[in-house]
Chains A and B, each alone.
Chain A
Amino acid sequence: MKSVLILGATSDIAQAVAKKYAAEGWSLTLAARDTVALEPIAADLKIRADAEVKAVQFDATDFENHAAFYESLSPKPDAVICVFGYMGDQESVRSDFGEVKKTIDVNYTGAVSILNIVANDFEQRESGAIAGISSVAGDRGRQSNYIYGSAKAGFTAYLSGLRNRLAKKGVHVMTVKPGFCRTKMTEKLELPAALTAEPEQVAAAVFSGMKKQRNVVYTLWMWRYIMLIIRHIPEFIFKKMDM
């Protein structure tokens, strides 16, 4: 039985990804900071899919312990999905460096730290697949969330480099950019229905993308073109826009 490690397993997208992998017959290791919140999620997957599920503690910003964390996993996963992320309030990010640091530490440094360790193992085994949930916010910095966006841009670039490095070793690396998604972060907001994915759609895109070895996945196809347009707006116009 193949096994998948899901990092940041309590988020809505991660839960949907876990359900999808469980339904497809994988065994799961769910990793998150809050293990109390993980328990009902793990119990649910066992009933729902008769799946083998382990819940383990993992803190994205506890960099020193990432090696030990990965060392403790047995057996080692065949696939790793890096879902965790942090988006603070843009207002407080402007004045509070603690928030800035947290945004960068979780979305970029933490992800790079753990995935480096995974990548070295996969490279040595010459097998495995890694998916990183990045964001369309990283495709171009916009005034509304550029701290988060720049951390995700860094993560996107990291995944692209990692893909380049590991492709020769038969290890696949996939970048996922979900666009708007209906989760607890956005449930209070009125999002355009046609551009908003359900977590289940993101999960299905992740699973099928990994299976088909896709490189960059936008959950809803429109987002690829929306971001293409946004990236190509000349800077002298873009800087005056309200985005």
Chain B
Amino acid sequence: MRKIADWGNYPVIEAEVTGFDSAEQLRTQLEQPGEVIAFGNGRSYGDASLQKNILLTRRFNKFLSFDENTGTLCCQSGVLLSEILDAFVPRGWFLPVTPGTKLITVGGAIAADVHGKNHHVAGSFGQHVLSMEVMRNDGSVIRCSPQEKAEFFRLTIGGMGLSGVILNATFRLKRINTAYIREETVRAENLDEIMDGFELSDNWTYSVAWIDCLAKGDAMGRSILMRGEHCTKGELIKPDRLELPLILKQRLQLDIPVMFPNVALNPLSMKAFNFLYYNKTRPGTHSRIIDYNSFFYPLDAISNWNRIYGKRGFTQYQFVIPKSAGREGMRTILKRITESGLGSFLAVLKLFGEQNSFMSFPMKGYTLALDFPISHRAMQLFTELDAMVADYGGRLYLAKDSRMNAAMFEKTYPNADEFRQAISLLNEGETQFASLQSKRIGIT
């Protein structure tokens, strides 16, 4: 038994953990009766990969094949996105979709069907999976794709690891000419301006906004919109970059070595951070060329940044509401959040494009993600926000969730019933896939 938690350090549980580095080992481990769930790199925020019996996938991390002509990669599920970037950016390939951290496994990316700054043009990660192999609770291996065992494939994408353990996946990387991004930042003075900003950024491949969730009144919703395109060689100016456009210099890696005391993040320090961050960008539009790490993964440069929230832990409240409810809904919800004064410095706004998956989080509309230190008041606020999100026809992101109740899940995920039935059929037998989350929200 050892203590284990996901990224938010809430909840922390005692669990029996085992890793595997071959499918045969995993099969043997699945012979043990009871409930079990796969655990990748622990970057979901809540309890989606927690359970009293945990299967660590990180050692199951081999590249299996790569086609230099098409960029088609097949790898085992424990491979980190960062390993893919390290191996293939120098050869001119990039991930089709990436979330705000590269320190997640391929298995996790599929199970949570993650999205990125290009959702409005590229959809979610799962839409790029050509095929995969999944081990079921009885040890059998299902090979599935949008054409083959399509039903099972659909359940597994965004299925939170409940249909089985993903063994490997095949997906296509996309061509890049440089490791750099041409980034444009636009300061928006309020919510209306930022929403307009997103509408006008439709033709950009990447777009996302940092939003000051502590600013009130006229300044409510003030934000910095960041949009980007992969750089062409012609756009690079510095000679060292031109010479090796796909190779990045080692960057400084910082580390938060210990848990911060809980008081380190207080309303004052967060307000100060937000003020500085907002004002560091002058009004108007600014363009610059930055490496892909700085554009996509600014927080990965600080190892263990979750420790700044201290022992109490934190959660990220990420919801989406349909575009039709957009401005009105976002204004009402944001107003409630700013009034509470509880939010922190990490608040991210994004306009999603269309999404037609079975269980995935995204839908055409606005998504907002905010970090909150765990507190009784925050939990009360979430309950209020849940009701608002549900009323507007929105939902919460399972990869971030540690506290939503079954009724909320039922109300907001249209395929909840069908998913529950399918998983319960698949789980027949001695061994069942279930997480603390799947039990809490009533799937298993």
Contacts and interface: CB of A to CB of B under 8 A. Distances in A.
Interface string A180-193: 00001001111000
B3 A48 contact: no
Contact of B62 (A41, A49, A187): A41
Contacts of A43: 62-64
Contacts of A12: 59
Nearest to B4: A190
B302 to A, nearest CB: 15
B340 interface: no
A49 B257 contact: no
Contact of A187 (B1, B18, B63, B64): B18
Contacts of A243: none
A48 B257 CA distance: 30
A33 to B, nearest CB: 16
Contacts of B91: 50
A37 B1 CA distance: 28
A194 B19 CA distance: 21
Contacts of A49: 87
A43 B66 CA distance: 11
B83 interface: yes
Contacts of A50: 91
A49 B88 CA distance: 9
A44 B60 CA distance: 11
Contacts of B3: 190
A188 B17 contact: yes
A187 B87 contact: no
B63 A184 contact: no
B21 interface: yes
Given A190-B2, A194-B258, A47 B18 contact: no
A53 B61 CA distance: 18
B299 to A, nearest CB: 18
Interface in A133-190: 184, 187-190
A226 interface: no
Output the residue of A41, A44, A189, A194 with the most chain B CB within 10 A: A44
Interface in B221-265: 257-258
Nearest to A22: B87
A190 B3 CA distance: 7
Contacts of B65: 47
Interface string B58-74: 01001111100000000
A161 B64 CA distance: 42
B86 interface: yes
B300 to A, nearest CB: 14
A40 interface: yes
A49 B91 CA distance: 10
A23 interface: yes
B56 interface: yes
Contacts of B18: 187-188
Contacts of B22: 37
B351 to A, nearest CB: 36
A184 B64 contact: no
18 contacts: A23-B86, A40-B64, A43-B62, A43-B63, A47-B66, A47-B87, A48-B87, A184-B19, A184-B21, A187-B56, A187-B59, A188-B16, A188-B17, A188-B18, A189-B2, A190-B3, A194-B257, A194-B258
Given A37-B22, A48-B63, 16 more contacts: A12-B59, A40-B62, A43-B62, A43-B64, A47-B65, A47-B66, A48-B83, A49-B87, A184-B19, A184-B21, A187-B18, A187-B19, A188-B2, A190-B2, A190-B3, A194-B258
Interface of B: 1-3, 16-19, 21-22, 56, 59, 62-66, 83, 86-87, 91, 257-258
